[in-house]
Amino acid sequence: MKKPAAPCRPDDLLTVFQQNGTGEKKIQGIALYGEGLKIVEVIDFPTTLPDFIDEPQDYFPAQIKGSLVLSFLKHPDLADYAAHFCRRQGLAMIASGPRKIAGAHCPLTCCGLAPKEGLGGYGRQFGLPEYQITMTDGRISTIQVLRGASCGATWLAAARLQGCSPAEALEKVAREVQFHCQADPAAFDPISGHSPLHFAGHVHTKALETALPETT
C-alpha cells in the first residue's frame, strides 16, 4: 500500500537519467515505498547511440532541476560525463552497478548503498536494508522495512517472511529478494567476483540476521 504523501524538502527532489526505461522499476519503487521524495524530472536519453560519443555534453540539459541525480545510463561516455556534469552543478549522483564512475556513488546494487551524508531522504530510506521485527510464539508476527532497495525487492520479500520461523525466513529471504531484483545477473563485480544477484541476497540475509532477536 502506498504511503500517504509527506512534505518534500529541497534536498529530496530527484532527477533520473535513463535509457530505454532502465530506471522505471526504481522510479516505481521510490513512488511506492519512499516518503517525502519527489521525482521532478526524468531525462530519457536515446536508445540508439554511437559506440563513441565525442561531445557527450550535447545530450544534457543546461540545468538539472533535482537536488540528487539517479543515473541508469549504460553508455560509458554518457555515464562518465553525467558524473562530471553533476559535480559541476554541485549535485551528488548515484549510479548503481559493477562499473565505477569517478565522482559518483556507485554501489554494486541499489540495496548496496551505505548511509552517507549529502544524499537526502533518498539516502536515508534506500540502500543497505534494515528491518524491524517482532516475534510471536517463535514466528515473525510483523516485519517492517526501515531501509531497502529502491526497486522494491526488500518490501516484496518481507511480505513473504511474515509468519515464518527465523530458520525458515533466513533460508528463503535471499531467494525472495533475488526473484524481484532488477540487477543484471550476468554482471560481476571485478573486485569481489560476485554477481549483483548474489550480493543482493547476501545483504538482505545479513540484515535479517541482525534484526532477529538473539533469543531466537
Q: What is the pLDDT along the chain (216 residues), one digit of tens a residue?
A: 445 555 556 669 999 999 999 999 999 999 999 999 999 999 999 989 999 999 999 999 999 999 999 999 999 999 999 999 999 999 999 999 888 999 999 999 999 999 999 999 999 999 999 999 999 999 999 999 999 999 999 999 999 999 999 999 999 999 999 999 887 766 666 666 678 899 999 999 999 999 998 754
Residue 151 main-chain phi, psi, to 5 deg: -75, -10
In sequence order, what are the beta bridge partners of 4?
A: none
CA distance 150 to 125: 9
Domain boundary among 85, 108, 125: 125
Element (H, E) at 155: helix 153-159
Structurally, how many domains does the chain consist of? Answer: 2
Q: Which domain-ending residue is among 99, 125, 151? A: 125
Q: Give the pLDDT confidence score for residue 96 in this predicted structure.
A: 93
Same domain, 109 and 175: no
pLDDT at 5: 53
23, 77: one domain: yes
- Looking at the fold, whether 187 and 84 belong to one and the same domain comes out as no
| 163 and 79 both lie in a single domain | no
The vertex-152 CA angle with 147 and 158, nearest 5°, equals 70
pLDDT at 10: 64
Residues 116 and 14 reside in one and the same domain: yes
3-state secondary structure of 43: strand
Instruction: Tell whether 86 and 138 lie within a shared domain.
Output: no
**One domain, residues 15 and 121:** yes
Residue 109 lies in a domain: yes
pLDDT at residue number 159:
96
Say if residue 93 is in the same domain as residue 141: no
- Domain CATH number, residue 81: 3.40.50
- Of 80, 108, 125, the residue that ends a domain is 125
Cell representation of residue 55: 561531445
Q: Does 179 lie in the same domain as 112? A: no
Does residue 16 fall inside a structural domain? yes
Sign of the CA dihedral with 188 first, then 192, 198, and 201 last: negative
The answer to the question of residue 190 being in a domain is yes
- Residue 15 sits in the same domain as residue 83: yes
Contacts of 175 (CB under 8 A, 6+ apart): 201
Q: Which structural domain, as residue segments, surrounds residue 166?
A: 130-211
Contact, 144 vs 167, CB < 8 A?
no
Cα(176)–Cα(39) distance, integer angstroms = 28
User: Phi-psi bin for 127: left (phi > 0), alpha (psi -120 to 50), beta?
Assistant: left
Q: How far apart are CA 127 and CA 112, in angstroms?
A: 5
What does pTM read for this prediction? 0.89
